[in-house]
Amino acid sequence: MFTSLDVQGLVNCLSQVPPVELQAVTLLRELRCTSATGGWFPAVQPDCVVEATRQLIDYIKSCATLLDKLKYLAPITLPMLEIPEWPL
Amino acid sequence: MNALDELGALPALLTTLMGDDPHLLLVQAVAWLDPGNLTAYQPDPRYIDFDYDAEDDLTVGLYVCRECFPAVYASVMQLQWQGVDERHITRCLLEGISTQLTIPIGSLEELRYGPPVDLCGVDLQLLDPDDAENPPFDRLLPLFADFGLSRGGDEPRDVQQAAFETAQVLIQSLTSRPETVYQDTAKLLLWMFSLSGNTAVDYTQEAFWENGFDMANWTPEDVALINDINQEARDFITSALNGLQILETDSALRKAFNRNVRTLKKAVQKATPQKQKRRNTHARTYPTDGDDGTAAFVRYTRWPDRP
């Protein structure tokens, strides 16, 4: 049963989450534009672009959903925390 | 190196520099594949949903593609980066979206009303033999006449009720027959009397709006559902029109149909006062046949053998 989590515990927990490998980012990293191609973005096969776009949109949507959930997190009671001013 | 050469080399230099920073790389990926996310197509935070009325047609089209048809969205985004003009973009959106729908759209403006439903219900008040846009509908009038109904649907309520109950018995009788011809004829009656259970088959445009139904939303789930409804309706109407054509060409079957309608109408009308009496809340007995006794009348029907 979950009892408590301090800041360091949260940091340790989050740092163990592997980074998301987005196909779009991989493509940009691997096919960096050179002055020969002259463009801002690499030339990629259409089906590859479609897949990368689909993945990126899903990623953005899941981030937005997570952000919404974080906005409405229920308050957590901290029984160990002492507030001397409380009786005042 | 002159100023123009330096300017030409700028994209390569900047992309190289951005490539070293994961945050900038992500921003670059978004700018490349989902630039709308950085500017438009974002729902107003004051509203939960995207405001279709507040945006122009192109923005609505891009938003719909982003939500439901990512492949179309991706290809249109790349066209925008290539500097293709708005007219061509609009055409690509229209063609791309239409290929994903059972009922294609005619203009981006139609997207504001949700995934299109081809409502092709029959309403006697709207049947007009002179309406060139609805050629099959005037062919239904002779069949409605068998049931005592005519264009306009002005008959008294008891006549309409008897016709409806007669149709129900006929449908029950026809669906029990395995032959395709009778299955098609049953579908014809289900279409004529709005009994199919498919919204697109049972409702006219006017009836749909008058009932205050909400249109489906542009979500992948709703689009799949509407496509299924439209496809089912299309198959249903095709079968119904086959049934209509058979009734128009097969005189023996047409006679049997007419005879069955007359027989059942008499039986239904005869049974109606008894049924009303049984429905009287002060009466001591209550109906026991759950489906208004239609099953009991099926035995009166006679159909010729057909392959």
Q: Nearest by CB to B9, from A35, A50, A54: name it.
A: A35
CA B55-B60-B65 angle, 5° bins = 160
In this predicted structure, what is the pLDDT of residue B288?
Answer: 40
In this prediction the ipTM stands at 0.76
Residue of B nearest to A55 (CA): B70
Orientation angle between helical segments B70-81 and B22-33, nearest 10 degrees:
100
B33 reaches A (C-beta below 8 A): yes
In this predicted structure, what is the pLDDT of residue B213?
Answer: 85
CB spacing of A28 vs B16 below 8 angstroms: no
Q: Which residues of B touch A33 (CB under 8 A)?
A: 11-12, 15
CB spacing of A49 vs B74 below 8 angstroms: yes
CB spacing of A60 vs B78 below 8 angstroms: no
In this predicted structure, what is the pLDDT of residue B284?
Answer: 40
Q: Write out the two tokens for B133.
A: 């846009």
Q: Which residues of B touch A35 (CB under 8 A)?
A: 8-9, 12
CB spacing of A41 vs B71 below 8 angstroms: no
Q: Which residues of B touch A52 (CB under 8 A)?
A: 29, 33, 74
Rounded to 5 degrees, what are φ and ψ at B141?
-60, -40
Dihedral of the alpha carbons of B4, B8, B13, B15, in degrees to the nearest 10: 150
Q: Nearest by CB to A39, from B11, B22, B31: name it.
A: B11
CB spacing of A41 vs B32 below 8 angstroms: yes
- Coil/strand/helix, residue B92: helix
Q: How far is CA A55 from CA A45, A60, A63, B10, in A?
A: 16, 9, 12, 29
Alpha carbon distance B182, B168 (integer Å): 14
- For chain B, which residues score pLDDT lower than 50? 283-290
Residue B237 CA from chain centroid, whole number: 11
In this predicted structure, what is the pLDDT of residue B132?
Answer: 58
Is the model's pLDDT at A43 over the cut of 50? Answer: yes
Distance from CA of B232 to the nearest CA of A (A): 29
Q: Which residues of A touch B34 (CB under 8 A)?
A: 53, 56-57, 60
| Closest to B257 (Cα-Cα) out of B173, B179, B161, B176 | B173
Give the residue from A40, A47, A62 with the most B CB atoms within 10 Å of its CB, the best one to mutate: A40
In this predicted structure, what is the pLDDT of residue B130?
Answer: 61
Q: What is the pTM of this model?
A: 0.77
- Coil/strand/helix, residue B178: coil
CB atoms within 10 A of CB B41: 20
| Contact between residue B200 and residue B118 where contact means Cβ atoms under 8 Å apart | yes
Query: Per residue in A52-82, pLDDT tens?
Result: 999 999 999 898 888 888 888 887 777 777 7
In this predicted structure, what is the pLDDT of residue B10?
Answer: 76
Residue of A nearest to B31 (CA): A41
